[in-house]
Amino acid sequence: MRTDAGTGARRPREISYAQAVREALREELRRDPRVFLMGEDVGIYGGTFGVSAGLIEELGPDRILDTPISEAVLAGAAAGAALTGTRPIVEIPFSDFLSLALDQIGNQAAKMRYMFGGAVRVPLVVRSPAGSGTGAGAQHSQSQEAVFCHFPGLKVVVPSTPYDAKGLLKTAVRDDNPVVFLEQKLLYKETGPVPEEEYLVPFGKADVKRPGSDLTIVAWGRMVGMCLAAAERLESEGVSVEVLDPRTLVPLDTRAIVSSVAKTGRLLIVHEAVRTGGFGGEIAALVADSEAFPLLKAPIRRVAGFDIPVPYSPNLERNAVPTPERIEDAVRDLLVQGEKRPAGRTGSVRS
């Protein structure tokens, strides 16, 4: 905490999302000698997005391990190390590359505990930046959280703010299960308040990023900020939008989602990942199967990435995933439907 000059009021310092992740890494590495970080270029290079910058100088090459470009063995060795008394954190430079490690994450690490009758714990974290917006094309821009949610045994975290990124990563490192931690590459430079004193953010606890009464948006990762901005603009039109960030998709705070929808009567789900098979479908289904269903005043709607590989050209790339316009249009459309007024004012773009 620091004191504002003149007023004497204390406000939390602001740091970037990347700094928040780095602080979590540093604190957990210092707290527990069993923890180590390994990955491609995490050492002197400081990580592909600079997240681990300075850690090797501070903690030494014994704790921060540069590796060959070998995603499968990194994930599998993390599982093997986790079984045998250490607590690895693996950085994979782009989450698209996790498909190269998917057998080790989904078939090995995720299943070991159950498959071996509860005889083992597999405390590991795979950190990887996800998302589009960097002009890196179809194989460096995906949001694949739903893939990992489909492997029982994994926990899946998608932090949307520096505060959450730090608190959730510290929780992930202390968790005794394999955690897929999907950082948002476009948020790395975004800043936000992060206390200097230690804190943890628990798994399975959604956060109401903005309270509202007319409609619930469930969004995670980079989409949270976009939805908050949309909600602010919609407020000037007299629309009160609640933005709920589940923060962890596995475990999922079902209760928070259902009770928010029961309150507002309308649900819009926003995710950057492609629509088909996206985790939004799961949320829609669980609300449809809940006590909030009869309280719905409008259909459940999703705004998601189109079912295409992420394109390169800036205008195409920007429009491949949800935009503020699509989010606002969807909100207006749902409100019109809910009040049974004729649509037409909004020119809605579905999905």
Residues 6+ apart with CB under 8 A from 128: 91, 92, 93, 94, 95, 97, 98, 180, 181, 182, 183
Q: Under the criterion CB under 8 A, does residue 78 sit at the interface with other proteins? A: yes
Please tell me the count of residues contacting other proteins according to CB under 8 A. Answer: 43
- Considering only 19, 52, 104, 132, the residue that binds other proteins (CB under 8 A) is 104
153 contacts 110 by C-beta, under 8 angstroms: yes
What's the min distance (Å) between Cβ of 204 and other proteins?
11
Q: Under the criterion CB under 8 A, does residue 8 sit at the interface with other proteins? A: no
What's the min distance (Å) between Cβ of 172 and other proteins?
13
Instruction: Single out the residue of 38, 20, 15, 271 nearest to residue 158, CA to CA.
Output: 271
What's the min distance (Å) between Cβ of 67 and other proteins?
7
Nearer to other proteins, 121 or 263 (CB): 121
The values of phi and psi at residue 297, to 5°, are -100, -5
211 contacts 235 by C-beta, under 8 angstroms: no
Nearer to other proteins, 120 or 136 (CB): 120
Residue found under tokens 């979590």: 24
Question: Residue 211 and residue 213: Cα distance in Å, rounded?
Answer: 7
Q: Judged by CB under 8 A, which stretch of 22-30, 69-77, 162-170, 329-337 contacts other proteins?
A: 69-77
Q: Under the criterion CB under 8 A, does residue 52 sit at the interface with other proteins? A: no
151 contacts 106 by C-beta, under 8 angstroms: yes
DSSP label at residue 311: P
Question: Residue 96 and residue 195: Cα distance in Å, rounded?
Answer: 32
What's the min distance (Å) between Cβ of 106 and other proteins?
10
Q: Under the criterion CB under 8 A, does residue 208 sit at the interface with other proteins? A: no
x/- letters, 144..173, toward other proteins (CB under 8 A): --------xx-x------------------
Nearer to other proteins, 73 or 343 (CB): 73
- Considering only 80, 131, 159, 246, the residue that binds other proteins (CB under 8 A) is 80
172 contacts 179 by C-beta, under 8 angstroms: yes
> Which H, E and C letters describe 168-216, residue by residue?
HHHHHHHCCCCEEEEEEHHHCCCEEECCCCCCCCCCCCCEEEECCCCEE
- Considering only 75, 217, 273, 331, the residue that binds other proteins (CB under 8 A) is 75
Does residue 271 have an active-site annotation?
A: no
What are the catalytic residues? 140
Binding site for other proteins (CB under 8 A): 34, 36, 62, 67-68, 70, 72-86, 88, 103-104, 107-108, 112-123, 152-153, 155, 176-177
